[in-house]
Amino acid sequence: MDLFDKFDPIVELRASLPFEKADPFKVVMDEILSETEALINGRRTILAGTNNYMGMTFHQDAVDAAKKAIDDFGTGTTGSRVLNGTYGGHKALEATIADFYDVEQCMVFSTGYQATLGLVSTLGGKDDYVIIDADCHASIYDGCSMSNATIVRFKHNDVDNMERRLKRIPEGANKLLVVEGIYSMLGDAAPLKEMLTVAKKYGCMTIVDEAHSMGFSGKNGRGIAEAEGVEHLVDIFVGTFSKSVGTVGGFAASNHPKFDVLRFVCRPYIFTASLPPSVVASADASIKAIKRSGNRRAHLWENANRLHAGLRGLGLEIATDKAESPIIAVKMPDPMVGTRFWEELLMEGVYVNMAAPPATPAGIFLMRVSVCAQHSTEQIDTIIERFGRAAKKLGLIELPKF
């Protein structure tokens, strides 16, 4: 037996999908024209499947800061944070994030994946309990696998189910609740106020991953906890720079008095080369810009609401009853229809994410659409129109007149 044989069912499923003109797993962005458009196979294409929610990838402050950092510090650090990999920019970025979240301490990681993986795997130890939402990100699940803790899952966004699970945990045990602000596949928000209130009732430490809510939720863009007024119930915020911030990297921020010890015990932090100076500088500039970007946030929500209403108006099945985030998930009846739908959209000049299990919950097949603050109203309307054409062609709806 070959060690690769275990993947044969996946290979067979992929081979059975009816791609003719494009493959969603091999899309190449030949040229990025703006935050919202790219050339794909020589065709000008609206980007409606990125996580560039706040449209910061071409923000002039971030671009200028990255260029200057390359000139001043070169292309990389060639070392981890605990060796030669901490430059002045890394500490400045940590201070910017701490100020952004109004906390005392912050650690910057090389990816958002490592931030959640590192926190969960390090804090969860023998005789501890880690309580997670069933739809949590793979990085949280992997952190759980690496920890020695007992893992307790509850039904997605189900506060009552979460409390029932908490009641079964032995009194006096150390407990860590890990939830997300916005869930990346369906775009739905967690009922954080209720969840965190219950968690504190049972003595849980709490981690909230604001990866997909940072930038646009809350008055200052700090995420769902800020929007719901429950930041005081969050012990540690984790997040990423690869969504609204527009670059790559991750962070954890906290007021816990012993938080800094994580720099010496968190393996994904200790044993990974630190972020290049250019990335650090652009993230710093971007976060500062996000803090003062109220108008951009407002336009992003206008785009999300318009797209959600437009796609629902076509008669398509949307995962949420209203726009809870810039992520609008359109359910497909099966993989074959979903594959053809995605291909039709790309041929029409609209790129979205084709999302399939195991990335999606409950075996759902999705067209995952995500909007950007820089999308124009005309672009949103074009996306809706081209969704309508594809749905009509595949017999999913009767196309209304535009």
Which of 238, 264, 291 terminates a domain? The answer is: 291
Across 246-269, b (16+ Cβ under 10 Å) vs e yields: bbbbbbbbbbeeebeebeeebebb
Report how far residue 176's alpha carbon sits from residue 269's, in angstroms, rounded to the nearest whole number. Answer: 20
Q: Domain span at residue 167?
A: 60-291
Same domain, 64 and 15: no
Same domain, 141 and 70: yes
- Greater pLDDT, 253 or 24: 253
Is residue 399 a part of any domain in this protein? no
User: In the prediction, which pLDDT does 324 show?
Assistant: 97
Q: Is it the case that residue 346 has pLDDT exceeding 60?
A: yes
Which of 267, 291, 315 terminates a domain? The answer is: 291
Q: What number is the average pLDDT over the span 353-361?
A: 86
Report how far residue 297's alpha carbon sits from residue 308's, in angstroms, rounded to the nearest whole number. Answer: 17
Q: Is the N-terminal amide bond of 326 cis, ω within 30° of 0?
A: no
Q: Is it the case that residue 179 has pLDDT exceeding 70?
A: yes
What's the number of CA atoms in the CB half-sphere (13 Å) around residue 159? 14
User: In the prediction, which pLDDT does 112 show?
Assistant: 97
Q: Is it the case that residue 400 has pLDDT exceeding 70?
A: no
254 noted as active-site residue: no
Is residue 400 a part of any domain in this protein? no
Same domain, 265 and 310: no
Same domain, 253 and 327: no
Rounded to 10 deg, the angle between the 138-146 and 112-123 helix axes is 30
Q: What number is the average pLDDT over the span 10-24?
A: 85
Same domain, 83 and 204: yes
CATH of residue 326: 3.90.1150.10
Q: What number is the average pLDDT over the span 304-316?
A: 97
Q: Is it the case that residue 127 has pLDDT exceeding 70?
A: yes
Report how far residue 141's alpha carbon sits from residue 353's, in angstroms, rounded to the nearest whole number. Answer: 22
- Mind listing the pLDDT tens digit for each residue in 26-63? 899 999 999 999 999 999 999 999 999 999 999 999 99
DSSP assignment letter at 6: G
Please give the distance of CA 58 from its chain centroid, rounded to a whole number: 19
Which of 254, 271, 291 terminates a domain? The answer is: 291
User: In the prediction, which pLDDT does 23 show?
Assistant: 87
- Mind listing the pLDDT tens digit for each residue in 68-94? 999 999 999 999 999 999 999 999 999
Name the 3-class secondary structure at 54: coil
CB atoms under 10 Å from CB of 329, counted, come to 27
Q: How many domains does the chain have?
A: 2
Same domain, 69 and 119: yes
212 noted as active-site residue: yes
Same domain, 356 and 251: no
| Cα Rg of the chain, angstroms | 21
User: In the prediction, which pLDDT does 193 show?
Assistant: 98
Which residue in the list 243, 299, 308, 375 is annotated as catalytic? Answer: 243
User: In the prediction, which pLDDT does 253 show?
Assistant: 98
Is residue 401 a part of any domain in this protein? no
375 noted as active-site residue: no
Q: What number is the average pLDDT over the span 300-307?
A: 98
The per-residue pLDDT of the chain, averaged, comes to 95
Same domain, 90 and 50: no
- Mind listing the pLDDT tens digit for each residue in 132-173? 999 999 999 999 999 999 999 999 999 999 999 999 999 999
Which residue in the list 90, 137, 212, 308 is annotated as catalytic? Answer: 212
Which residue in the list 110, 121, 139, 184 is annotated as catalytic? Answer: 184
Is residue 402 a part of any domain in this protein? no
Same domain, 241 and 299: no
Work out the pLDDT band at 401, boundaries 50, 70, 90.
low
Q: Is it the case that residue 116 has pLDDT exceeding 70?
A: yes
Write out the DSSP string of 330-389: EEESSHHHHHHHHHHHHHTTEE-EEE-TTSSGGG-EEEEEE--TT--HHHHHHHHHHHHH
User: In the prediction, which pLDDT does 91 show?
Assistant: 98
